[in-house]
Structure 1
Amino acid sequence: MQFALTAKLLINMHDLNNERAEEIRRVPLIFKTKDGYRLISEAVAVSGVMLKHWHAVYLARRAEELGVNLCPLCRRGEAIRVPPPDAVKMEWLHTDENTYKKYIDCLSKGTEEDLIKLCVGEDAHGFLRTEPTLRRESLIKFSWLLPIYLEGIEMPPFRVVQHTRNIREVPEEPEELRRMQMPYPRSYADGVYGFASLCDLELVGTAFTCRRQVIDDNEKKKRQRAILEAFIPMLTGAFGASLARSLPAAKPLEVVAIVSKEAKIGFPAPVHPMYEDYFQLNERLFRSFAKEFNVDLLICTYGIGQSKKEDKVEVKVVNDPAEAIVTAIEYLGLNKV
């Protein structure tokens, strides 16, 4: 069981990757234009780390609703997987002493199987424990959110806006309160952006160290469902920094969800939506995959493509962005758990 996703969004006034004090992250990118290849030395982009973090947050929220196992950190919305035991205090976790001791014992001495059973976060997003060394590869991969080249629009389209904190009455002392009234700058960007993601649903609940499934089938299906549903809030730009004061003015333009019930080997990485012909390339790529491994394939599309079916491969156009993922969930039979 495999899943892949690409999404293209129009995003205005975002501050999604403001990981520094006063600027949005910018990276060099090469685009193909009508005049050949062009280097943009400072294109506004959002890291895959940021996307992965927010998927983990939405995964934990949905998993809790479905009754899926969560560790104390994921339960409180902290996407920190397998932290050093001596850094975790009972007061910080807001849990009882017995739960705290069991959690610390699992962090310190637990096997990969133990940690998978403990939490869907460690299962799906992987972890690295330094002592004793134990590593689990993430089942979910994210590209960067990258801008799509728009002919005639100079990049990067971003601006710096000065903000001020408003305090009703500013006392003379302490000095810190007076300084809080000082203006502070924030950068905002606009553009058409895209990202791609992969998820190996087949290996949910399976430990790499012993190559066997360590949770029951019902728990596995719930985890698979929660993993896919966690992508839905991301389709309208609800990921990244500064959401409280600059929730992006976003509109999904194209969403493509690719899924297979029979595929056991992982999907190839989908071509990123930053490339103009990404959909055509992905359709050919995944058709070849399905033919080579003799597996089924459903491609759910919003905003692009045409419905058709050939052999075990179906392209299905849906009416809204979330429906692409919902249809994939129904196709896998995960909507019944």
Structure 2
Amino acid sequence: MDIQNVKNLTLVGRLSINLASLNNEGTEGNATQPRTATIVDDGELYTVPVISGDMLKYWHVKHLCAIAQDRDLSLSENNARKNPNPNRLKAELAKHEWVIDKIPEAKEWEKKSDVDKDFLEQSLYGLVASECAVTDAHGLLITEVAPHDEDDKEVFSARVAVARTSRVQTGFMTGIPRKNATGHYFHAKYVSKRTGIKSRESTAGEGQNIFTRPATSADFAIVINVDLAGLGFNDAADKYEIDEEEQAKRKKAVVDALSYTLMNQPGANSSQQFPHIMGFEGAITTSTNRSPAPSASPIKGDYLETLEGLVKNINKMNGDSSAEYHTVESVEEAVSFLSN
């Protein structure tokens, strides 16, 4: 796949995972509750295990941060860390020195009444597209800018409304009806009898804690769309804020992070229940013009045929072959296609 010519990409398919506990809803008493949702398939309602799009997005962000650090791509302070912070560029926006370096006019905004909010908002749209590869790809909502000086005193404050739309869109990983099961397993932290007696007299939790934890095995339906043409693009000014070389690097990093997401899911309880990835089958659709790369839910049994038909119809409407459809039958095949 020639990533640099692709403007839009969609990955759909079924990822088979055994004995995972990746996205739970919380606990009730001493029992961990798995996340579930109700879906409709062929006119029937089913309650199935799900992994939220937020979790899927977190996996991609974490992998993208690591890739960006290895390849010296621009990153915000909150993303240049082992566990990224979703506030992304907001750490820099809290520092007056950084703000006046990027927006020289801010040096004169020492009073709230002096702030040119329209100019500030336009500047922020440019910064979120240029200054951090992860903020660029995954978006950020900025509602206030209140930088502080070296003495931690607020220099100025302004309420703004700057929304960077995420270029990576993720749906729920949804268990396929009749192809999923969740078991609840008994666990206990075994200790010596003497310590156990002591723990019952305190709240330190050092004794024999009994609890249950879920383990889900399922074929999960995945839908991910990536707007590669939107990377580095300033929606407000209708222009790119980065050059073609930087855009090419970010495209490659975002797609490689998608490959990493298929190979590794650093979710909840992975220290004890690292998921067994059994396989993947699906399709990757691409578009080299303004047409979207079509998607169809892998919950449907005939989703591959639907995708193929949609691609043919898009090319018929455009009178070209800008949309393409590629089937994959394993994680390895998907990664190979995305990386070449």
Smaller-chain TM-score bracket: 0.7 to 0.9
Does the C-alpha gap of structure 1 residues 39 and 134 become closer, same or farther in structure 2, counting only changes over 3 Å?
same
Partner of 2:189: 165
1:23-172 maps to which residues of 2 (within 5 A)? 23-32=33-42, 37-40=43-46, 42-76=47-81, 77-82=83-88, 101-102=97-98, 111-131=124-144, 132-150=160-178, 157-165=181-189, 170=195, 172=198
CA distance in 2 between counterparts of 1:26 and 1:145 reads: 11
Q: Secondary structure at the match of 1:202?
A: helix
Any conservation in 1 of the 2:133–2:250 contact (CA below 8 Å)? yes
CA distance in 1 between counterparts of 2:96 and 2:74 reads: 15
CA distance in 2 between counterparts of 1:103 and 1:12 reads: 48
Which of the two has higher C-alpha Rg?
Answer: 2
Q: Tell me which amino acid in the other structure corresponds to 2:41.
A: F
Q: Secondary structure at the match of 2:61?
A: helix
CA distance in 2 between counterparts of 1:259 and 1:113 reads: 27
Is 1:290–2:319 an aligned residue pair?
A: no
Any conservation in 2 of the 1:127–1:136 contact (CA below 8 Å)? yes
Partner of 1:307: none
- Once the 2 structures are TM-superposed, how far is the Cα of residue 106 of structure 1 from its aligned partner? 7.0
Bigger shift: 218-227 or 180-189? Answer: 180-189
TM-score by length of 2: 0.77
Q: Secondary structure at the match of 2:34?
A: coil
Partner deviation per Cα, 1:183-208 (whole Å, 9 max, x = no partner):
12211211111111111101110010
Partner deviation per Cα, 1:289-332 (whole Å, 9 max, x = no partner):
233233433433222xxxxxxxxxxxxxxxx42433443443xx
Any conservation in 2 of the 1:6–1:257 contact (CA below 8 Å)? yes
CA distance in 1 between counterparts of 2:249 and 2:92 reads: 32
Which of 327, 332, 337 is the aligned partner of 2:337? 327
Q: Secondary structure at the match of 1:284?
A: helix
CA distance in 1 between counterparts of 2:33 and 2:254 reads: 32
Q: Tell me which amino acid in the other structure corresponds to 2:70.
A: E
Identical aligned residues as a percent: 22
Is 1:175–2:202 an aligned residue pair?
A: yes
Partner deviation per Cα, 1:103-156 (whole Å, 9 max, x = no partner):
798799651111222111111111111222110111111111111123xx6xx6
Which of 217, 227, 230 is the aligned partner of 2:257? 230
Partner of 2:289: 263
Partner deviation per Cα, 1:65-97 (whole Å, 9 max, x = no partner):
121111111111314135766997xxxxxxxxx
Any conservation in 1 of the 2:68–2:253 contact (CA below 8 Å)? yes
Aligned residues: 293
Partner of 2:147: none
Does the C-alpha gap of structure 1 residues 8 and 130 become closer, same or farther in structure 2, counting only changes over 3 Å?
same
CA distance in 1 between counterparts of 2:183 and 2:260 reads: 26
Partner of 2:155: none
Partner of 1:301: 327
Does the C-alpha gap of structure 1 residues 113 and 182 become closer, same or farther in structure 2, counting only changes over 3 Å?
same
CA distance in 1 between counterparts of 2:85 and 2:76 reads: 10
CA distance in 1 between counterparts of 2:276 and 2:69 reads: 29
- Once the 2 structures are TM-superposed, how far is the Cα of residue 176 of structure 1 from its aligned partner? 3.7
CA distance in 2 between counterparts of 1:118 and 1:84 reads: 12
CA distance in 2 between counterparts of 1:165 and 1:128 reads: 43
Which of 215, 218, 237 is the aligned partner of 1:188? 215
Q: Tell me which amino acid in the other structure corresponds to 1:302.
A: V
Any conservation in 2 of the 1:235–1:322 contact (CA below 8 Å)? no
Any conservation in 2 of the 1:236–1:251 contact (CA below 8 Å)? no
Any conservation in 2 of the 1:258–1:328 contact (CA below 8 Å)? no
CA distance in 2 between counterparts of 1:286 and 1:65 reads: 36
Q: Tell me which amino acid in the other structure corresponds to 2:331.
A: P
- For structure 2, the 5+ residue unaligned runs are 1-6, 107-119, 145-159
- For structure 1, the 5+ residue unaligned runs are 89-98, 304-319, 331-337
Any conservation in 2 of the 1:228–1:325 contact (CA below 8 Å)? no
Q: Secondary structure at the match of 1:72?
A: coil
Structure with greater contact order relative to length (CA < 8 Å, sep ≥ 6):
2
Does the C-alpha gap of structure 1 residues 142 and 282 become closer, same or farther in structure 2, counting only changes over 3 Å?
same
Bigger shift: 251-260 or 136-145? Answer: 251-260
CA distance in 2 between counterparts of 1:245 and 1:101 reads: 44
